[in-house]
């Protein structure tokens, strides 16, 4: 489909269920100018923790654990590391370590204690405390799928020549097909930022739309030849490379119109990664898209979110822009690695103190 981002076509009888129609609907307003200083100040205001009491913070921390896409995307990743990550994602509170040092590592088994030793927690009331997904490179999908069997944690994989996106379209689509056939529940694709910054918005729209079609096709899985349900598509904009906030807004609408289930800030491989202003622009685009189409899209800030305070700031931003209905794993995720350890430590310390 060829799109024109400078012309808005108003059609009273437009079919908003079709991606092409959605792109026409938003083609002009995605070029609106944005006051960056205003957005910076607004994002700080909307993410403020000033009105939250300690009890509310504890509830938010529990929710945040369920929003995490626990991620490892390193060249040094091994099967053993991925399996250990899956154990942590399935039951983050099953074991914990002492908190004498800020460098403490929950994976270190030398100082772990069963969660049942901690006041305020028991096996009967924390079953919901698991991560949303484990996100890995394609070669680890089978390992993650087996390790997560029987849990509610999803298997996610990066695709389309992550993190650069600098592969021919044909190879990107083969990458996605491999991931879906291998059993990925969720696909985290990157857009072609070079094409976007060159003004080739049609290419970006089409690549997202082609990936979406694979995610909704009846590809068989492995030897069982079992048919898949729809695979969730998260589209990484890499906001740190897009420059102006106008570009982030524009890329958000292109991705959503092309079929993205989530729009995601970053790969975590460049700086800046996730920022509050970029996330605010994306959240407002989601709100506008929903108001026009009735279709809810998810948001995933990722990269550089490490502390409990940072995570709660993003939580408050989403709450204040999109409302409580977006505060579910189906519509809000945080891509992170070290954040989970910090949330668990905070939860255990506060639970122990309140007991």
pLDDT digits (tens, 9 = 90+) for 26-81: 665 566 789 999 999 999 999 999 989 989 999 999 999 999 999 999 999 999 99
Residue 278, domain member (yes or no): yes
* 264 included as an active-site residue: yes
How many other C-beta atoms lie within 10 A of the C-beta of residue 283?
Answer: 24
For residue 43, what are the domain limits? Answer: 26-55+132-339
Active-site choice (69, 185, 188, 261)? 188
* 300 included as an active-site residue: yes
pLDDT, tens only, 160-180: 999 999 999 999 999 999 999
Say which CATH number the domain at 309 has: 3.20.20.70
CA distances from 322 to 45, 105, 280, 282 (A): 15, 35, 10, 11
Residue 161, domain member (yes or no): yes
The tokens 């350890």 sit on which residue? 341
Contact indicator for 159, 176 with CB cutoff of 8 Å: yes
Residue 169, domain member (yes or no): yes
Q: How many distinct structural domains can be found in the chain?
A: 1
The whole-angstrom separation of Cα 231 and Cα 251 is 21
Residue 60, domain member (yes or no): no
pLDDT at 130 over 90: yes
Q: What is the CA radius of gyration of the chain?
A: 20
Q: How confident is the model at residue 218 (pLDDT cuts 50, 70, 90)?
A: confident
Strands (E), the chain: 68-71, 95-97, 112-114, 133-136, 154-159, 186-190, 220-221, 226-227, 232-236, 262-264, 298-300, 334-336
Active-site choice (264, 297, 319, 341)? 264
Residue 158, domain member (yes or no): yes
Strands (E), 237-332: 262-264, 298-300
Residue 104, domain member (yes or no): no
Active-site choice (250, 300, 319, 341)? 300
pLDDT at 349 over 80: yes
Residue 235, domain member (yes or no): yes
Residue 230, domain member (yes or no): yes
Residue 278: which region, alpha, beta or left (left: phi > 0; alpha: psi -120 to 50)? alpha
The whole-angstrom separation of Cα 198 and Cα 201 is 8
């Amino acid at each position: 489909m060829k799109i024109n981002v400078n012309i808005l076509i108003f059609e009273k009888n437009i079919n908003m269920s079709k991606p092409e129609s959605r792109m026409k609907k938003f083609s002009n307003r995605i070029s609106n100018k944005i006051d960056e200083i205003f957005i910076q100040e607004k994002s700080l205001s909307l993410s403020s923790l000033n009105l939250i009491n300690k009890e509310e913070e504890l509830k938010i921390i529990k929710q945040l654990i369920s929003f995490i896409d626990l991620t490892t995307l390193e060249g040094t990743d091994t099967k053993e590391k991925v399996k250990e990550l899956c154990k942590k994602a399935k039951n983050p509170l099953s074991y914990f370590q002492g908190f004498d040092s800020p460098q403490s590592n929950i994976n270190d088994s030398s100082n772990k204690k069963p969660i049942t030793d901690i006041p305020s927690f028991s096996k009967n009331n924390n079953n919901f405390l698991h991560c949303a997904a484990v996100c890995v490179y394609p070669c680890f999908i089978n390992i993650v799928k087996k390790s997560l069997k029987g849990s509610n944690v999803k298997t996610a994989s990066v695709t389309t020549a992550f993190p650069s996106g600098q592969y021919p379209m044909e190879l990107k689509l083969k990458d996605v097909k491999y991931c879906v056939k291998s059993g990925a529940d969720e696909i985290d694709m990157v857009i072609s930022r070079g094409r976007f910054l060159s003004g080739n918005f049609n290419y970006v729209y089409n690549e997202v739309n082609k990936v979406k079609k694979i995610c909704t096709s009846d590809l068989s899985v492995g030897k069982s030849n079992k048919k898949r349900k729809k695979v969730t598509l998260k589209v990484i904009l890499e906001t740190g490379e897009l420059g102006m906030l106008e570009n982030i807004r524009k890329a958000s609408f292109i991705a959503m119109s092309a079929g993205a289930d989530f729009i995601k800030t970053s790969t975590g491989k460049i700086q800046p990664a996730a920022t509050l202003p970029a996330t605010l622009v994306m959240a407002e685009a989601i709100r506008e898209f929903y108001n026009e189409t009735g279709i809810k899209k998810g948001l995933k800030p990722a990269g550089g979110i490490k502390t409990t305070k940072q995570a709660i700031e993003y939580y408050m931003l989403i709450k204040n822009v999109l409302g409580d209905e977006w505060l579910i794993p189906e519509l809000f995720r945080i891509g992170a690695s070290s954040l989970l350890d910090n949330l668990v430590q905070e939860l255990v310390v506060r639970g122990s103190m309140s007991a």
